[in-house]
Amino acid sequence: GVPLEITGLTKKYARSTDRYAVRDLSFRVEKGQVLGLLGPNGAGKTTTLRMLMGLIRPDEGEIRVFGHAIRPGAPVLSRVGAFVEGAGFLPHLSGRENLELYWRATGRPAGDARMEEALEIAGLGDALARAVRTYSQGMRQRLAIAQAMLGLPDLLILDEPTNGLDPPQIREMRDVMIRYAAGGRTVIVSSHLLSEVEQSCTHLVVMDRGQLVQAGPVAEITGEG
Ligand code: ADP
Ligand code: ADP
């Protein structure tokens, strides 16, 4: 199956409200795409991504990840990695030690080449050897993104990965996503800024007030190319 196919996805946070967080959302993502989920705050991006990760249950609709139906509470497919804000690290350990700890905790063998390749793509360089307590907020965020990439999941989901990053870090993040997808992998990334997704993404899904506004290749949506 394709990396992601969602059909008629609908979610309200309360039965009593007439406000839909996500309403009748359908789109698909093909292998190798970097799909930007673009929309202002409150558009429903995080709600959509949480449903994809199986963290919350849609009221209606279907999610298929590599052909498998996603259900809350079911184990997340090993082919999926996700970044959400607020990952915790042990401050006295180095970035690398934290990631190795996480790697072993997920039951994967030490010295696995996937981990080294993921660290290469993440591009953290010498900072990996420093204690996390010396990291800036932006560096912690980049370590959390590296953590989501560790097993080189075929589908990588990033919720607002550039929040709190400075402009050079935002440019590096763009290169990280492009390098990640170059291996035939697929990335879904949310953002509220077109300027952040137009150069890193191949395709866009534009949302507003829970609904799909536009979807297609980036050049079609920005009117270039
Ligand atoms: P975005 O990620 O695009 O900013 P969200 O998915 O966070 O959008 O929010 C979509 C809508 O759902 C907003 O109106 C938001 O206030 C509401 N919402 C999000 N999370 C919750 C929640 N846990 N409980 C109630 N309403 C929520
Ligand atoms: P984002 O815009 O990245 O989705 P928010 O700042 O909107 O994040 O939300 C942060 C947290 O607050 C999330 O856990 C979200 O589910 C929750 N939240 C957002 N809107 C509401 C709401 N109207 N009622 C209750 N919780 C909400």
17-27: pLDDT as tens digits: 889 999 999 99
DSSP-derived pairing of the beta strands 60-65 and 4-11: antiparallel
ipTM score assigned to the predicted complex: 0.76
Show the tokens assigned to 81: 């990695």
Closest residue CA from atom 6 of ligand 1 = 44
Alpha helices in 13-136 (DSSP H): 45-52, 95-105, 113-122
DSSP secondary structure code for residue 44 in this structure: S
Return the pLDDT at 45.
98
Looking at the DSSP bridge assignments, the partners of residue 187 are: 34, 156
Closest residue CA from atom 23 of ligand 1 = 13
Return the pLDDT at 138.
87
> Containing H/E element for 171?
helix 167-182
**One-letter amino acid for residue 120 of the chain:** E
Closest residue CA from atom 5 of ligand 1 = 44
Helix and strand numbers (H, E) in the chain are: 7, 10
Atom of ligand 2 nearest to the CA of 163: 3
Cβ neighbours, 10 Å, residue 40? 11
86: pLDDT confidence band, cut at 50, 70 and 90? low
191: pLDDT confidence band, cut at 50, 70 and 90? very high
Gap from CA of 21 to ligand 1 centroid (Å): 6
* pTM score of the predicted model: 0.89
Alpha-carbon distance of 74 to 218, in angstroms, equals 33
